[in-house]
């Protein structure tokens, strides 16, 4: 392990070399990290990119063309405890990475890349364990006023100025600063089988798994009812198995709505979102996934500095974020963390959705094929 007093090694030329990018977080965090891979691939010919991620998100990225290999940090399984950590260190060391980029540093992962003897280790400064990194980017995420995607990209600073020409060999890389997730054809077929028929539909995703301030389920139901009544579109309500009651509550308020709690894998969820006319959700991984497959999205956020759209808004070809007012009004129905989420009305969301709900809007949010 490198000494904190050791000289800073030179930054390697990553062309033709192997690089480990670490982001073992939740779905939305990983999706907002994908432009890092696009930038590295565009800037360094022949670079081999490995993502270290949690087991929950890896099924979605198994065939992503920007990522050459996936490694798991299985903290509940083979990498649990001290012996499991040693196993993980050995697995990383065997890959002989030229560089590691720790996008959201923790003590575990700062120690991991140092113990694995990766010669170039990039992470943020200002942490007690930042000395494990050979190259430190002076970055404060909390209160920075910058988007998570931009913060991720700024970790590439040691490898040179990213503002120049990013044209890739395969054509236009104009989407290099947007997340993109390809849709598996078999998953698309499975998604179509789930919804049945040919009626266009909108996806409502009312839950967040505790990761965000949530919009009231009554508002989701009112919105879905209006979409059904005024636009004659189907409504699909999604969520994980633990959100079955919430999904059923919203679906019960929308005639003919289809509840799909716990009935999709991540690849099938991505395909379902890609098939949708539009998606509405709070600040969740599902919202970011919908934007990354090119579907128009409306996200509903609190006006709180570190969870607002400024930091976590959806990034895609057709993405809108609405903010609840910042004046705290205590707690109660429709109030989360002191922010009255109910103040964002279903009518306001419907107004944002309207351009995408007509027949002429079909395909308006499809991603630029050059990004793939």
Question: 114 and 210 in one domain?
Answer: no
In this model, does residue 137 exceed pLDDT 90?
Answer: yes
Question: 104 vs 18, 38, 74, 173, CA distance in Å?
Answer: 20, 18, 17, 25
Among the listed ranges 94-103, 113-122, 252-261, 339-348, which one has the minimum average pLDDT value?
Answer: 339-348
Question: 210 and 119 in one domain?
Answer: no
In this model, does residue 157 exceed pLDDT 50?
Answer: yes
Chain-centroid distance of CA 264 in Å reads: 17
Question: 155 and 220 in one domain?
Answer: no
Q: Give the pLDDT of residue 139.
A: 85
Among the listed ranges 11-15, 51-55, 110-114, 165-169, which one has the minimum average pLDDT value?
Answer: 165-169
Residue 8 lies in a domain: no
- The Cα 15–Cα 203 span in angstroms is 42
Question: 46 vs 51, 199, 355, CA distance in Å?
Answer: 16, 44, 42
Among the listed ranges 29-33, 151-155, 158-162, 191-195, which one has the minimum average pLDDT value?
Answer: 158-162
Question: 210 and 156 in one domain?
Answer: no
Tokens matching residue 254: 């929308």
Residue 175 lies in a domain: no
Q: How much is the pTM?
A: 0.88
Q: Give the pLDDT of residue 6.
A: 54
DSSP 180-212: -----HHHHHHHHHHH-SS--EEEEE---TTSS
Residue 298 lies in a domain: yes
- Domain holding 53, by residue range, is 18-162
- Sheet bearing 135-137, strands edge to edge: 69-72, 48-53, 18-22, 99-102, 120-124, 135-137
Question: 133 and 192 in one domain?
Answer: no
Mean local confidence (pLDDT), 226-241:
95
Question: Domain holding 320: CATH number?
Answer: 3.40.50.2000
Give per-residue pLDDT as tens, 286-308: 999 999 999 999 999 988 878 88
- How many domains are there within the chain? 2
Of 127, 162, 197, the one marking the end of a domain is 162
Q: Is 180 exposed, middle or buried (0-12, 13-18, 19+ CB in 10 A)?
A: buried
pLDDT, mean over the chain: 87
Q: Is the separation of the CB atoms in 284 and 257 below 8 Å?
A: no
Q: Give the pLDDT of residue 7.
A: 62
pLDDT band at 327 (very low <50, low <70, confident <90, very high): low
* Pairing of β 335-336 and β 339-340: antiparallel
Q: Give the pLDDT of residue 1.
A: 47
Cα angle 292-293-298, degrees, rounded to a multiple of 5: 65
In this model, does residue 319 exceed pLDDT 60?
Answer: yes
- The Cα 348–Cα 28 span in angstroms is 25
Mean local confidence (pLDDT), 320-346:
70
Residue 195 lies in a domain: yes
Q: Give the pLDDT of residue 171.
A: 33
Residue 354 lies in a domain: yes
Question: 340 and 251 in one domain?
Answer: yes
Of 124, 147, 162, the one marking the end of a domain is 162
Question: 190 and 236 in one domain?
Answer: yes
Question: 150 and 65 in one domain?
Answer: yes
Question: 341 and 192 in one domain?
Answer: yes
Closest CA to 293 of 349, 360, 220, 372: 372
The better pLDDT of the pair 81, 303 is held by 81
Question: 116 and 80 in one domain?
Answer: yes
Q: Is the separation of the CB atoms in 298 and 323 below 8 Å?
A: no
Give per-residue pLDDT as tens, 203-212: 999 998 877 7
Question: 117 and 27 in one domain?
Answer: yes
Q: Give the pLDDT of residue 103.
A: 96
Question: 339 and 193 in one domain?
Answer: yes
Where b means 16+ CB within 10 Å and e means fewer, 98-114 reads bbbbbbbbeeebbebbb
Residue 155 lies in a domain: yes
Mean local confidence (pLDDT), 135-158:
88
- The Cα 49–Cα 41 span in angstroms is 8
Among the listed ranges 146-160, 220-234, 348-362, which one has the minimum average pLDDT value?
Answer: 348-362
Mean local confidence (pLDDT), 341-365:
80
In this model, does residue 57 exceed pLDDT 90?
Answer: yes
Question: 71 vs 24, 84, 152, 309, 361, CA distance in Å?
Answer: 10, 14, 19, 30, 39
């Amino acid at each position: 392990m490198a000494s904190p007093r050791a000289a800073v090694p030179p930054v390697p030329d990553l062309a033709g070399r192997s690089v480990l990018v670490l982001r073992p977080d939740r779905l939305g965090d990983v999706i907002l990290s994908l432009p890092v891979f696009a930038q590295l691939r565009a800037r360094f010919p022949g670079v081999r990119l490995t993502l270290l991620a949690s087991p929950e998100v890896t099924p979605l990225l198994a065939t992503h063309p920007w990522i050459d290999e996936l490694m798991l940090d299985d903290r509940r399984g083979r990498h649990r405890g001290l012996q499991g950590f040693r196993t993980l260190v050995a697995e990383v060391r065997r890959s002989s990475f030229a560089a590691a980029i720790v996008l959201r540093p923790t003590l575990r992962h700062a120690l991991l890349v140092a113990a694995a003897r990766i010669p170039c280790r990039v992470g943020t400064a200002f942490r007690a364990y930042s000395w494990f990194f050979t190259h430190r980017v002076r970055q404060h995420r909390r209160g920075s006023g910058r988007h998570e995607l931009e913060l991720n990209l700024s970790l590439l600073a040691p490898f040179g100025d990213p503002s120049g020409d990013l044209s890739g060999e395969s054509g236009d890389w104009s989407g290099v600063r947007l997340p993109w997730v390809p849709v598996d054809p078999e998953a698309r077929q499975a998604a179509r089988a789930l919804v049945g028929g040919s009626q266009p539909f909108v996806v409502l995703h009312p839950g967040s798994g505790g990761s965000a301030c949530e919009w009231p389920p009554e508002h989701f139901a009112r919105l879905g009812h209006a979409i059904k009544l005024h636009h004659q579109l189907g409504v699909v309500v999604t969520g994980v198995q633990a959100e079955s009651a919430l999904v059923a509550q919203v679906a019960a308020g929308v005639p003919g709505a289809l509840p799909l709690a716990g009935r999709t894998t991540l690849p099938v969820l991505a395909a379902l979102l890609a098939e949708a006319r539009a998606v509405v959700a709070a600040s969740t991984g599902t919202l970011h996934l919908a934007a990354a497959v090119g579907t128009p999205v409306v996200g509903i956020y609190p006006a709180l500095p570190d969870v607002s759209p400024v930091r976590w808004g959806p990034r895609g070809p057709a993405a809108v974020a609405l903010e609840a007012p910042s004046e705290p009004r205590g707690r109660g129905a429709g109030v989360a963390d002191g922010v009255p989420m109910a103040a964002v009305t279903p009518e306001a969301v419907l107004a944002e959705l309207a351009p995408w709900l007509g027949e002429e809007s079909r395909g308006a949010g499809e991603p630029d094929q050059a990004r793939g």
